[in-house]
Structure 1
Amino acid sequence: MAQLINFDRSLQRLQFIFRYCGLTFKSKKLTPIYKLKIRCVYLLNFFWLNSDVLGGICWFIDGIQTGKTFVQLTYIAPCVSFTFLADLKAIFLIHYEDYVCELIENLRELEKNYETENVNIGYNETVVKDNRRGQYVKFLHSVLTISNILSVVLILTFIVSPLILMALKYYQTEEVELMLPFLIIYPFDSHDIRYWPFVYLHQFWSVSVVLLNICAADYLLYICCTYLGVQFRMLQHNIENVVEKKSVLLEHELEELQKKYCQLIKWHQELIRLANMLGFIYAESTLFNFVSSSILICLTGFNVMAMENVAFAVSFLVFLSASLLQIYMICFFGDFLMTSSTEVSDAVYHSKWYYLNVKTGKNLLILQTRAQKPCKLTAFGFADVNLNAFMSILRNAWSYFALLKTVYAPQEY
């Protein structure tokens, strides 16, 4: 029962984020009225956020027509790309809402039944209370905490930077020059003191919605990958320790072991099904995440190098750190899922299969062969989500950055 508490404790960290994003992972348990309320919150955030996105795109087009510098144009480009990513992540979570609910319910059931299954199979109590499970969960919670802190820092840097610049400007010239965090065109004068406070708050909430959407989708991915990976690790341990150390097994013992291995095979099949479901839910959004990350990291790094304004350069430096952490964590947890699933094959090899009868041995051989094909997340089938993919993204980003740095010499900044 303790592991059920751990799983629910991890999900509780998502409740606040999901509530204010207008998302849910309990779609099958909600009443139509409550579900309508959640949808209204999402639609409010969607139109609130994308009104700023539309204004940013208009500013970008107007900047091209009026001959603004490349640095000025690239100021808004990473923000718009990150916003599109947030929109897509939230949209696909809603589109696959029932699958998300089913995935979580099945994972919760696996966690709930884990201890009783081990008791029924007859394992030592120390196996049930394996400290490694707690270490994985502790690491997951640390990642969520650090990501939350970085998200808050990112919001504050973008929102506070204009206020700092306004204060410095007033200190130097004794004149108040109203500034905003982002370059966005509105159908009114956004720098008019009558509208400026509202516009400032509007942009503040837009930034918050972007980060909430991304955190909601990514945190759910982290949690599901962690608990699936832990299940695979526990399955490995159980496979290796079904047969006790003895040279001869009696007929009734062989039959009992056959039943136990059948349970383990069914456990493995269920984990494969859930891993495939997770990959299905995140396939499309991960593809856009991969495509946009190289360009996003490149342009953000270019802004850090090219901007003369220290306050905005610091803002984009934090933005760059957040972008790197976001794509790295997705690849890290995807890699963890792949590694833990393929190690089941090694567990079969290290088990005492040579004490078993022919029928059970054949079943284990099938299990071992299937486990050699990793359970993995993909970018809609175009790339696997693992640490090698992260290195590819960094290589591409560096190539684009080097090209920009060569074409746009320092004197042209």
Structure 2
Amino acid sequence: MASPTLELAKREIDESLKLSTSCMFLIGFSLKTPADPSTALRIKIVFVATIIGVSLHALSELAFLCVTIANSPRVEYVAPLLHTVGYGILSICKISALFSKRNVFARLLNDLRTIWPVYTNEETQNIKSRSLRALRIAHLSYFALNESGVLFYIITPVVLYLFNVLRGQEYHIRTVWRSWYPFDIYSSILLHTVIYIFEIFSGQSCVWAMICSDLLFSGMASHIVLILEVLQKRLQLLGCAVKSDTENYQDIVDCVKLHQKLIRYCNDLEDAFSFVNLINIFLSSVNICCVVFVIVLLEPLMAMSNKLFFAASVIQIGVICWYGENIIHANANVAQAAYDSKWYNLNPKCRRSLAFLIQRSQKPIAFTAMKFTNISLVTYSAILTRSYSYFALLYTMYSEN
């Protein structure tokens, strides 16, 4: 039977990741064992449907892109297709990462409960409350932005149809996405309706996959930063209270063990998301530059949908880089917190142990993109700069045409 401390830690962690867990449920994925066989069967059916829908969606968009390049390889025809294709590919990568690393994520959540700050002093409790509140606001904002973006894409064909009907013009409802199908989808109303529903489902599944993966990553990263900040406060209090040498040494040992657990936790999380982060960094520049190109030059009717896509793309990669930057600084601040303690009141044995902790904290821990680069705000700046360079290239090609 779990202790009350672990139960409380589990509730607080589950509450902080509630939005991510809800989106996982919508795509038929769960890090927990289903309660009964019927629930397990239902989850598997939804997950298989999601995999099929997202895969067909990405392949049909990729096929349409290839057909367009073969028939009309002009920048104004190709560029509007790249960002949605990139989003679909990224969604598939994130679903694959969630599925292949399911046991890793479940273990990380269990490990997190053992080091979660539960019964703490007022100052530490304020740190935890502030961190959880900021994480909740960030998750809600990210969810709302992505959901509003896909909603605008879905309703745009219907709005255009109603607009033209009210003007007395004949107009057929188009598809949500620019996809290629090996048959004429307008041959019957039933077939057109089925395709329209399929595109709504597949597009929405892509967004849910993106949201649950990003919120899981950002939530776990935020919790690492939170516990590192708690560790900093514990280190700053060393030597302040009147304690025996044994008690002071035990406090330092506890801090060292906690720091080692956080390093392992961060490394495991980095390994789970490393490949996805590499694809994310590579595709983000292309997605941002192409959607900006479309907004500025090509499609005013889709402006709201594309603007929301642009905002979601910028924030999505920005959130990952933000938490990557926080990890780097939080770990570096552990060394500073140890130095700011009353270490001169401790005996030589305690000072040596504290020196080892400082030395280890000066070695950076960071999320990477398959070890090619650290995920930080410097990376974010490079992505935006590269996006602008790509946009300038597209603009030059478009102007020449």
RMSD, aligned CA: 2.0
Q: What amino acid is the match of 1:67?
A: S
Contact kept in structure 2, 1:327 and 1:390, CA below 8 Å: yes
Partner of 2:288: 297
Partner of 2:26: 20
Question: 1:179–1:68: structure 2 CA closer, same or farther, 3 Å change rule?
Answer: farther
* Offset of residue 75 of structure 1: 2.1
Partner of 1:352: 342
Aligned partners of 1:172, 1:115: CA distance in 2, in Å? 63
Contact kept in structure 2, 1:169 and 1:177, CA below 8 Å: no
Name the SS for the 1:408 alignment partner.
helix
Q: Which of the numbers 208, 220, 224 marks the counterpart of 1:224? A: 220
* Offset of residue 69 of structure 1: 4.0
Q: Which of the numbers 158, 163, 167 marks the counterpart of 1:172? A: 167
Q: What amino acid is the match of 1:267?
A: L
* Offset of residue 239 of structure 1: 0.8
Aligned partners of 2:53, 2:153: CA distance in 1, in Å? 18
Partner of 2:58: 53
Partner of 1:271: 262
TM-score (norm 2): 0.93
Q: How many residues align?
A: 394
* Offset of residue 219 of structure 1: 0.3
Aligned partners of 1:290, 1:315: CA distance in 2, in Å? 22
Aligned partners of 1:209, 1:179: CA distance in 2, in Å? 20
Partner of 1:369: 359
Contact kept in structure 2, 1:6 and 1:137, CA below 8 Å: no
* Offset of residue 72 of structure 1: 2.5
* Offset of residue 22 of structure 1: 2.3
Q: What amino acid is the match of 2:387?
A: A
* Offset of residue 100 of structure 1: 0.5
TM-score (norm 1): 0.90
Aligned partners of 1:8, 1:65: CA distance in 2, in Å? 49
Q: What amino acid is the match of 1:241?
A: L
Q: Which of the numbers 269, 280, 283 marks the counterpart of 2:274? A: 283
Which residues of 2 match residues 10-409 of structure 1 at below 5 A?
10-26=16-32, 37-67=42-72, 69-111=74-116, 114-115=117-118, 125-128=121-124, 130-192=125-187, 193-244=189-240, 253-307=244-298, 309-409=299-399
Aligned partners of 1:76, 1:144: CA distance in 2, in Å? 28
* Offset of residue 233 of structure 1: 0.3
Identity of aligned residues (%): 24
Q: What amino acid is the match of 1:146?
A: S
Q: Deviations over 1:28-77 (max 9, x none)?
A: x8778865653432221111222222222222222223226432322222
Q: What runs of 5+ residues in structure 2 fail to find an aligned partner?
A: none
Contact kept in structure 2, 1:140 and 1:223, CA below 8 Å: yes
* Offset of residue 245 of structure 1: 5.8
Question: 1:37–1:373: structure 2 CA closer, same or farther, 3 Å change rule?
Answer: farther
Q: What amino acid is the match of 2:328?
A: M
Aligned partners of 1:62, 1:295: CA distance in 2, in Å? 20
Q: Deviations over 1:335-367 (max 9, x none)?
A: 112211111000110011111111111111010
Name the SS for the 1:194 alignment partner.
helix
Q: What runs of 5+ residues in structure 1 fail to find an aligned partner?
A: 119-124
Aligned partners of 1:20, 1:324: CA distance in 2, in Å? 24
Q: Deviations over 1:267-297 (max 9, x none)?
A: 1111111111111111010000001111111
